[in-house]
Structure 1
Amino acid sequence: MKSTACYTLLLLLFTGIQSCTEDKYAGPLSPEASMATFDMHEDFEVQLFAAEPHIKDPVDLVFDEAGTAYAIEMPDYPYKPEEGQGKGVIKKLLDEDGDGQIDAAVIFAEGIADATSLMPWKGGLLVTAAPYIYYMKDEDGDGVADNKEILFSGFFENNSEAQITNLRLGVDNWIYAANNGQRSDVKFRNSADTGALSLQGMDFRFRLDKELYEKESGTAQFGQTFDDWGNKLFTQNTLHIQQAVIPGRYLERHGHLSSKSVNQNISDHDLEMFQMTPPPYWRAERTRRRNKQYQEQELDRVEYAEDHFTGASGGTIYDGSGFPEEFYGDLFTGDVAGNLVHRDRLVLDKNSPILVAHRPAEETEKEFLASTDPWFRPVGFTVGPDGFLYLVDFYRQHIETPVSIPDDLKEEMDFMNGENHGRIYRLVPKSSPRPDEVIPDFSQMDAADLVAQLAHENGWNRTTAQRLILENPKQEYIPHLSELAGKDDPKAQVLALHLLKSLDALRAGMVAGALASDHWGLVKNALILAEDFPELKEEISSKTADETPIVALQAILSLGNYEGNLAVEKLAAALIDKGSNKWFRTAILSSNAGSGVEILEALKENHDFFASTEGWKNDYIKEVSHIMGARGEEESVDAYVNLLSSLEEDNMNHWKNIGLEHLKAGLEKSSKRHSEKLALILNKLEKINDYAGFPLQELMANR
């Protein structure tokens, strides 16, 4: 009977007729069997760190200052649990026999809905679990959280694939969280006496040591990471690596930019990946149907079911000490649909103020790691105290939101199949499979020793020391930080300078010294810190012409905090030199000095800007016109119209038509807030009624 059934099954598979879910979807493998399916970089191997029953459905892993591992489980995925019915668990993972593999676990907290990420803080853990960010701490030493405090509330919570997640401590001492650009009304400690922070199209950042929080640029989804110099990179399904080119605080200066999207896909190989698993039946069939529909509708569109990023997740820059030196700074990203780990090497773009991600030479036709196990779901990574890279494997049969799959295909899919599985792996070079260094005891360090950790070769040590100094600021740190800030160690200098600022001990001379460095990353951060010292304005302005584009961009952003002739003229010169690049234009336009009549007058008088009409100039005038209209300031609008009227006759109509059209759009935006101002401004504009191409009658009708 059994053999007959097997023969029938083989026959059906051979003929291409699939009659049951067992045919279409493979079953799970043991951790050892799954590891055997890994095809990875020839110089590396994978070690099992944790698996069921000690861990299930893991989505994040962190190590506290004692080197203790905490993991978060998300068994509710992909469904939204009912109020108070969350099954999320945070576990303290224990290696009791010291063999490098977890053999016990303590439940630190449970019953959490949609818990997605962790970060150690003040002896406890910060936890993202939409709509909240919690602080949890074990007060009595039994390994279980006794304290559960809501720090922030109001985050979007209606889709587990688009919720607050990915807590990361930046080099600037801010804690960053991915919000996927979702609309949220965020409140701190549920305070009734302060208004909510409205988030839309942006991410989030906060400082608990200063009780500050604000919008941040970028729309990170399943991963965000920072390099040693504070550049933010993030992951989103199909776009496995993007950069938030301009920080959010600059985009908010005058609040009138027509767009605050500063996301840049920095991959030079687009969506291509090399997976070893065929697409699951549901994905292949859904793609077939969609492509058929596109063809029927004569759309120039194609969907891919395989070999293209669709489930990119967990992008993490490797800043550890356990890999060979050439891997430092590489970015590792999982693709949960392709069952693989992709690696990017990051380099400076010589012509634009961004990074570029490209495949290393040995991975132009393969991935750093790929598996033939379709249950392998690499959702995230972390660098451990040993300097190695840890990989979090959610390990499920299916990983997709059910709302994206046709109903008939869902009928034979069990989205919870695998909820009792989960693995965490350690990726190590074959040359040094176990760490030699003992984890330092941070609790016994004096000020000198703790500050010295900021110069450690392993990123976990540096970040842990930075966090501990932030958590418990002391005056005795200052002399040691000041000494470190003057050493020739750019990574350590950046951390020391930002911590000195946090301790109100940063001085202009320290920043000036860093500005004189020949290391672009240190100079970039020194420019940010120089914004607090008006006496360094000249030094900032001199860097707007720096030969390294990413430094010049930061100088333009920093100079934009000032107004006056120096700022206006330097920004005008920068626009002429670099205005063909949209990021430089946006940086200039984000400032008051770079978006007012004064810079236009400087462009006219000193740079002959309006004598030609190339495309990028049109883009700048469109945006500056919109900004001035949106400001709704009668005097500025009047001065702008007079400037347009004074242009040489050959190009006058061109610039008037573009400028006034977008001024109108900005005025209409302004009228939503200041309707009484609009009437006054429009009356002023009546004198331009004779200008060809300007629809004054239509504009007047909108009063």
Structure 2
Amino acid sequence: MKGNVTHTLFAVLLIGLYSCKEDKYAEALSPEESIATFNIHENFEVKLFAAEPHIQDPVNLVFDEKGIAYAVEMPDYPYKPEEGKGKGVIKRLDDTDGDGVIDASTVYAEGLADATNLMPWKGGLLVTAAPHIYYLKDDDGDGVADSKTSVFTGFFENNSEAQITNLRLGIDNWIYAANNGQRSDVTFKDAPGEGPLQLRGADFRFRLDKGLFEKESGTAQFGQTFDDWGNKFFTQNTLHIQQTVIPNRYLERHGHLSSNSVNQNISDHELEMFQITPPPYWRAERTRRRNIQYQEQELNRVEYAEDHFTGASGGTVYDGGDFPEGFNGNIFTGEVAGNLVHRDVLAEDKESPTLIAKRASEELDKEFLASTDPWFRPVGFTVGPDGALFLVDFYRQHIETPVSIPDDLKEEMDFMHGMDRGRIYRIVPKSGVSETKVQDFSSLDSKTLVSHLAHKNGWWRTTAQRIILENPKAEYIPLLKDLLSNENPNAQLHALYLLESMGALEQGMVEEALESDNYGVRKNALMLAENFPKLKEKIAEKINDESPIVSLQAILSLGNYEDDFTINQLAKALIEKGENKWFRLGILSSNAGSGEAILKVLDEKYNFSGTEISWKEDYLKEVNHILEGKGIRAKAE
């Protein structure tokens, strides 16, 4: 009897071990079942917008000027497609019965390699698909793109997790793209004589309305977003929210700074997150092995398999205007490894020219949204015309580059399992969102179109901005001038930048904006003031602005000049603000703030050489580096 019991127990254990091996990785859930696993903020709910078979492997969603939804599918991930054999698809998504759920789809374009992101432009779509940024357009109105033009080419293309992506139209009328700091030699089809732009450790921006393209600060990976005032934030795997503090155009004025890195991790809660799914077997096992290795090598290093950001993606500012008070301007970031959505509340740092990203008081020990479905992969977000926050769920069993997983663990993994699935959700407050029907922006009369620049929803504002940029008309100018007196600071900024784009911006308009009660308007007015030399003293006055962000911008804008007035103003600013590295760097980025003349003023007026200052050595070291770069013998002591 005892032998039979032992035999039975052994059989049960054997079956259990076999079952554990077979069930290491969960299987997919239906969209409805997956939604049921969501633990979301009590004031919100999640509604299905699109799912298979109408969408598979989605990584991005946009709405054109008619309110039509287009999505990018990336079925090649995580493998590099053979040249000319990409499987990427762009789909038009339609809700034919008006119930809020997509029930029809049309292939707008296919055969794209590594397509990751879209932006509507002139009736077509700009598409990032390394090594290109394409322009696709449906010329005959059948819903399928007829033409495909490579606008830019030469971007890095050897890692699908670190390629050109995240097209964003900024308040300043530039289109920004994330490049992850990759080395690239980029050419523009409309400027073949200019030669390639060498991207190194930088992102990218361009203006198709002006034929301009250049490097931009930051090393955004998959997630790049802007607040209402043009502050840029980006996502990079473990660092879920960073800010670029100084635009690249200032950093390259003399070209001799020792470093152009201006990335600031603005999170006050570092890498901590609160997932409610256990880590997958491969991740837990890989981490266990690595930690053993670190201990054997006596390294002061620990790797975490859970509860720490490792797959942050798609950070997006919510500016839809329909969420409850306190949510507008928050940044929502997906965590594909943790199966969750994290929310950051931005606050000004009173001591430094950066913002601070904080957890909301009700989310100190939990996330805005977390799921127990290990297939839930929130890769990105889009604010829709209706004010909802659309969440793009790649929905795969595994999401990781195979090259980083040990071979024996990969034997049990199918990286393509789930490539026939994908979901897009609408996150909405339980109180509801606006249901205003979108008219075709390209056919609106001028007065109505310009009025949308004051809309509460950022999608409406940005779409109106884009249509005006694409086809500027003289009749817009008086309407935009009238908008300058609108109480909405978003409208004021759009009006200022659009007038500037049409050559209709006047000095008096900028002077008035410099005195705005809104720090974001003052900050951008300083940049526009750079076009008016007579405003130099007005710019200098803002060095003492109550907002450190405005103060830094004043230093950067004034640094375009090199006269005695500028040198004296920057010397004074250095003494008063030099303890902060960003103010020092802003001053050093200019010729006036890094030459022999400012050293003389510093000694004559402030006894700089004879005064004990904690940061003095760092400043003088950088000045010497800059002078040597210019071929001038170092004299800073």
Per the TM superposition, whether the score is higher than 0.5 is: yes
Partner of 1:364: 364
Q: Is the 8 A contact 1:390 1:426 kept in 2?
A: yes
What amino acid is the match of 2:529?
A
Query: Which residues in structure 2 correspond to 1:599-618 (within 5 Å)?
Result: 599-618=598-617
Q: 1:454: which partner in 2? A: 453
1:637-666 CA-to-partner distances (Å, cap 9, x unmatched) read 3xx53xx5xxxxxxxxxx3xxxxxxxxxxx
Measured in 2, the distance between the counterparts of 1:580 and 1:172 equals 30
Question: Cα gap change, 1:565/1:190 in structure 2, threshold over 3 Å: closer, same or farther?
Answer: closer
Question: Residue 322 of structure 1 corresponds to which residue in structure 2?
Answer: 322
Work out whether residues 341 and 369 of structure 2, in 8 Å CA contact, stay in contact via their aligned partners in 1: yes
**What do you get for the CA RMSD once the two structures are aligned?**
1.4
Distance, in Å, in 2 between the alignment partners of 1:513 and 1:173 is 21
User: Measured at CA, do residues 175 and 12 of structure 1 come closer, stay the same or move farther in structure 2, by a change above 3 Å?
Assistant: farther
* Conserved 8 A contact 1:18-1:24: no
Question: Given the alignment of the two structures, is residue 31 of structure 1 paired with residue 39 of structure 2, yes or no?
Answer: no
Local SS of the residue matching 2:467:
helix
Residue 68 of structure 1 and its aligned partner are, at CA, apart by: 0.2
Whole-Å Cα distance in 1 between the matches of residues 434 and 420 of structure 2?
30
For the Cα contact (< 8 Å) 2:237–2:311, is it kept in 1? Answer: yes
Map 1:240-389 onto structure 2 (within 5 A).
Answer: 240-389=240-389
Instruction: Tell which has more relative contact order, 1 or 2 (C-alpha 8 A, sep 6+).
Output: 2
Unaligned ranges ≥5, structure 1 = 1-6, 645-654, 656-703
Task: Tell me the CA shift for residue 192 of structure 1.
Answer: 4.5
Quote the offset at 1:548 in angstroms.
1.0
Matched, 1:569 2:568: yes
Q: Which amino acid aligns with 1:36?
A: A
Cα gap change, 1:609/1:354 in structure 2, threshold over 3 Å: closer, same or farther?
same
* Alignment partners' CA distance in 1, 2:58 and 2:235: 19
Partner of 1:213: 213
Q: For residues 159-558 of structure 1, what are the structure 2 equivalents within 5 Å?
A: 159-189=159-189, 192-432=192-432, 435-558=434-557
User: Among the aligned pairs, what percent are the same residue?
Assistant: 71
- 1:443 CA drift (Å): 3.2
Q: Which amino acid aligns with 2:327?
A: F
Per the alignment, residue 113 of structure 2 pairs with 113
Question: 1:252 deviation in Å?
Answer: 1.0
Q: CA deviation at 1:21?
A: 5.2
Contact 2:190 2:211 (8 Å CA) reproduced: no
User: Which ranges in structure 2 are unaligned for 5 or more consecutive residues?
Assistant: 1-8
- 1:91 corresponding residue in structure 2: 91
Q: Which has the higher mean CA deviation after the structures are superposed, 602-611 or 185-194?
A: 185-194
The 10-residue stretch of structure 1 (236-245 or 613-622) with the greater mean CA deviation from structure 2: 613-622
Q: 2-side partners of 1:261 and 1:193: how far apart? A: 29
CA deviation profile, 1:207-261 (whole Å, cap 9, x unmatched): 0000100000000001000000000000000000000000011111111100000
Letter in 2 for 1:601: K
Matched position secondary structure for 2:390: strand
Determine helix, strand or coil for the equivalent of 2:621: helix
Q: Which residue of 2 aligns with 1:158?
A: 158
* Superposition deviation, residue 517 in structure 1: 1.0
Amino acid at match of 2:597: E
Query: d(CA) in 1 for partners of 2:325 and 2:100?
Result: 23
1:61: which partner in 2? Answer: 61
Distance in 2 (alpha carbons) for counterparts of 1:570 and 1:518: 24
1:290-310 Cα shifts (integer Å, max 9, x gaps): 111111111111110000000
Letter in 1 for 2:199: L
- Cα deviation, 1:62-120, whole Å, max 9, x if unaligned, reads 00010000000000000000011100000000000000000000000000000000000
Task: Please give the alpha-carbon distance, in whole angstroms, between the structure 2 residues aligned to 1:98 and 1:9.
Answer: 56
CA distance in structure 1 between the partners assigned to 2:11 and 2:115 by the alignment: 41
Q: Once structures 1 and 2 are overlaid, which stretch shifts more, 318-327 or 222-231?
A: 318-327
> 2:5: which partner in 1?
none
SS in 2 for 1:567: helix
Question: Residue 140 of structure 1 contacts residue 146 of structure 1 at CA under 8 Å; is this kept in 2?
Answer: yes
**Residues 654-684 of structure 1: per-residue CA shift (max 9 Å, x gap):** x3xxxxxxxxxxxxxxxxxxxxxxxxxxxxx
**AA of the residue aligned to 2:455:** H
Partner Cα distance (2:525, 2:18) in 1:
63
Paired with 2:501 and 2:12, the residues of 1 have a C-alpha distance of 67
Instruction: Please say if residues 321 and 388 of structure 1, whose CA atoms lie closer than 8 Å, have aligned partners that are also in contact.
Output: no
The CA distance in 1 between the partners of 2:10 and 2:266, in whole Å, is: 50
Structure 1 partner of 2:73:
73
More helix by share: 1
The question of whether the paired residues in 2 share the 8 Å contact of 1:75 and 1:87 is answered with yes
Secondary structure (helix, strand or coil) at the match of 2:499 reads helix
Report if the CA contact (8 A) 2:191-2:211 is conserved. no
1-structure distance, mates of 2:120, 2:12? 52
* Contact residue 56 and residue 421 of structure 1 kept, 8 A: yes
Equivalents in 1 of 2:234, 2:608: separation in Å?
37
Residues paired across the two proteins, number: 629
Preserved CA contact (<8 Å) 1:153 1:190: no
Higher mean C-alpha displacement, 479-488 vs 217-226: 479-488
Distance 1:212-1:21 versus aligned 2 partners, 3 A rule? farther
Question: What TM-score, normalized by structure 1, do the two folds share?
Answer: 0.88
Report the more deviating stretch, 613-622 or 552-561: 613-622
Shift of the alpha carbon at 1:535?
Answer: 0.5
Letter in 2 for 1:573: K
Confirm or deny that 1:102 pairs with 2:102.
yes
Q: Judge conservation of contact 2:442–2:467 (CA < 8 Å) in 1.
A: no
Question: Could you tell me how far 1:612 is from its partner in structure 2?
Answer: 2.5
CA shift at 1:23, angstroms? 1.8
Which structure would you say has the larger Rg?
1
